């Protein structure tokens, strides 16, 4: 398919090209076709010592331009859920629609970028050549590659570091490079699995603020896994609170009242603290299920 528009960084908010409109995806919080629609989604791993129920009956609809965080105890299936959306795992039950098509079709047309907890940069490649690696693999011509890499390095504020090697950059900068790499096909959907989990709090604050700016600028839809309640509330339009394994959704906390412009100081406001409290209560209630 044509990705002619892929270079346009500031595409209008996704009202969805015709190809993404499918009646199967329902109950979006807004009228636009959802980016992710899961219904009754379940996944049971067939492990050597017996089945592991990782996800149970997850219903979730994510509208274009949302920032949705997932929070829950370790092992509750957050990574599994993201991997299902990315078509890296096959659900064993339920329905999943990504950008109006199957997760597989969405993967094949590179509808998402994935950012992992570890930056996973090759030490022998420069930052520019790491960021451009997916483009290289897919045979994007050199001149276009260079232009896109420069654009995304600029977006994550790493212009000037193109020729450095990963080990010459701080952990936070490396993670920004991996975000630039995930963005290089200009996917509408960004999947981020605890991307800042290994960083200290000051760096994390800084990256949170930058990520929010990036989200506002690019109108991406972001699914973001975290262990941190303040991080989830600060970044998100909605926080999905999950129970211990098998992961179920126990609450969805709407954070849109905080607005889109969020200075870090917003975290001291009563509204912010109230939302954090609600997430905390959800997590606590979830533990009660743990029989
Ligand atoms: P989280 O990201 O919330 O910490 P995961 O999605 O990684 O949780 O894992 C959910 C559960 O599924 C965990 O108990 C984990 O051990 C198990 N699990 C994950 N991947 C596999 C696998 N490939 N085979 C068997 N069990 C797995
Ligand atoms: Mg995980």
- The number of the ligand nearest the C-alpha atom of 116 reads 2
pTM: 0.87
Identify whether residues 182 and 220 lie together within a single domain.
Answer: no
Alpha-carbon Rg for the chain in angstroms = 19
Identify whether residues 66 and 36 lie together within a single domain.
Answer: yes
Rounded Cα distance, 233 and 170, in Å = 26
Identify whether residues 238 and 284 lie together within a single domain.
Answer: yes
Residue 263 lies in a domain: yes
Cβ atoms of 288 and 248 within 8 Å: the answer is no
**Length of the chain (residues):** 291
Place of tokens 């049971």: 44
Identify whether residues 80 and 203 lie together within a single domain.
Answer: yes
- The number of the ligand nearest the C-alpha atom of 76 reads 1
Probe target for ligand 1 pocket from 42, 44, 54, with the most ligand atoms within 8 Å of CB: 54
Strand stretches in 72-178, DSSP E: 93-98, 112-115
Residue 8 lies in a domain: no
Cβ atoms of 140 and 159 within 8 Å: the answer is no
What is the model's pLDDT at position 31? Answer: 64
Residue 118: strand, helix, or coil: coil
Identify whether residues 30 and 154 lie together within a single domain.
Answer: no
Kindly give the distance from the C-alpha atom of residue 186 to the centroid of ligand 2, in angstroms, as a whole number.
Answer: 25
Rounded Cα distance, 45 and 52, in Å = 5
Reported as half-sphere exposure (CB side, CA atoms, 13 A), residue 50 has a value of 1
Residue 151 lies in a domain: yes
What is the model's pLDDT at position 25? Answer: 36
Residue 209 lies in a domain: yes
CATH number of the domain bearing residue 262:
3.40.50.300
Kindly give the distance from the C-alpha atom of residue 77 to the centroid of ligand 1, in angstroms, as a whole number.
Answer: 6
What is the model's pLDDT at position 12? Answer: 35
**For ligand 1, atom 5, which residue shows the shortest CA distance?**
77
Residue 94 lies in a domain: yes
Cβ atoms of 156 and 165 within 8 Å: the answer is no
Q: How many domains does the chain have?
A: 2
CA angle 162/187/141 to nearest 5° reads 55
Domain boundary among 152, 186, 220: 186
Kindly give the distance from the C-alpha atom of residue 207 to the centroid of ligand 2, in angstroms, as a whole number.
Answer: 20
Per-residue pLDDT of the chain (291 residues; tens, 9 = 90+): 333 333 333 333 334 333 333 333 334 455 679 999 999 999 999 989 999 999 999 999 999 999 999 999 999 999 999 999 999 999 999 999 999 999 999 999 999 999 998 899 999 999 999 999 999 999 999 999 999 999 999 989 999 999 999 999 999 999 999 999 999 989 999 999 999 988 889 889 989 999 999 999 999 999 999 999 999 999 999 999 999 988 899 999 999 999 999 999 999 999 999 999 999 999 998 775 444
Which pair of tokens denotes residue 203? 């760096």
Identify whether residues 193 and 87 lie together within a single domain.
Answer: yes
Kindly give the distance from the C-alpha atom of residue 58 to the centroid of ligand 2, in angstroms, as a whole number.
Answer: 17
Domain boundary among 186, 208, 224: 186
**For ligand 1, atom 23, which residue shows the shortest CA distance?**
45
* Cβ-proximal residues to 281 (8 Å cutoff; 6+ apart), any chain: 251
Rounded Cα distance, 65 and 22, in Å = 18
Pocket of ligand 1 (CB under 6 A): 45, 47, 52, 54, 72, 74-80, 245
What is the model's pLDDT at position 281? Answer: 95
Identify whether residues 285 and 148 lie together within a single domain.
Answer: no
Kindly give the distance from the C-alpha atom of residue 61 to the centroid of ligand 2, in angstroms, as a whole number.
Answer: 21
Cβ atoms of 85 and 277 within 8 Å: the answer is no
What is the model's pLDDT at position 32? Answer: 79
Identify whether residues 101 and 199 lie together within a single domain.
Answer: yes
Strands 36-47 and 93-98: antiparallel
What is the model's pLDDT at position 8? Answer: 30
Residue 253: strand, helix, or coil: strand
Phi, psi of 239 (to 5 degrees): -115, 125
Phi, psi of 191 (to 5 degrees): -105, 125
What is the domain extent for residue 242?
Answer: 24-111+187-291
Kindly give the distance from the C-alpha atom of residue 272 to the centroid of ligand 2, in angstroms, as a whole number.
Answer: 25
Identify whether residues 195 and 274 lie together within a single domain.
Answer: yes
Domain boundary among 138, 160, 186: 186
Ligand 1 atom closest to the CA of 242, numbered from 1 = 3
Identify whether residues 41 and 165 lie together within a single domain.
Answer: no
- The number of the ligand nearest the C-alpha atom of 70 reads 1
Residue 11 lies in a domain: no
Residue 53 lies in a domain: yes
**For ligand 1, atom 10, which residue shows the shortest CA distance?**
77
Ligand 1 atom closest to the CA of 77, numbered from 1 = 6
Identify whether residues 104 and 204 lie together within a single domain.
Answer: yes
Residue 13 lies in a domain: no
Identify whether residues 100 and 134 lie together within a single domain.
Answer: no
């Amino acid at each position: 398919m044509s990705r002619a528009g892929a270079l346009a960084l500031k595409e209008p908010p996704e009202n969805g090209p015709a190809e993404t409109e499918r009646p199967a995806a329902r109950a979006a919080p807004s009228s636009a076709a959802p980016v992710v629609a899961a219904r009754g989604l379940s996944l049971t791993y067939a492990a050597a010592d017996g089945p592991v129920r990782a996800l149970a009956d997850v219903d979730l609809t994510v509208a274009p331009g949302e920032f949705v965080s997932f929070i829950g105890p370790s092992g509750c299936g957050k990574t599994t859920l993201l991997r299902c959306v990315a078509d890296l795992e096959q659900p064993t039950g339920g329905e999943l629609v990504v950008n109006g098509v199957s997760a597989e079709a969405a993967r094949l047309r590179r509808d998402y970028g994935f950012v992992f907890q570890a930056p996973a940069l090759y030490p022998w490649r420069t930052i520019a050549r790491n960021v451009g690696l997916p483009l290289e693999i897919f045979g994007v011509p050199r001149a276009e590659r260079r232009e896109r890499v420069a654009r995304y390095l600029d977006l994550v504020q790493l212009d000037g570091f193109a020729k450095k090697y990963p080990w010459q950059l701080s952990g936070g900068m490396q993670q920004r490079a991996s975000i630039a790499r995930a963005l290089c096909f200009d996917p509408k959907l960004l999947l981020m699995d605890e991307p800042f989990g290994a960083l200290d709090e000051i760096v994390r604050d800084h990256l949170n603020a930058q990520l929010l700016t990036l989200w506002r600028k690019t109108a991406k839809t972001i699914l973001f896994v975290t262990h941190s309640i303040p991080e989830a509330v600060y970044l998100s339009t909605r926080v999905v609170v999950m129970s211990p394994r098998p992961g179920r959704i126990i609450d969805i906390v709407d954070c849109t009242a905080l607005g889109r412009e969020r200075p870090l100081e917003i975290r001291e406001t009563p509204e912010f603290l109230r939302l954090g409290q609600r997430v905390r209560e959800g997590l606590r209630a979830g533990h009660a299920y743990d029989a």
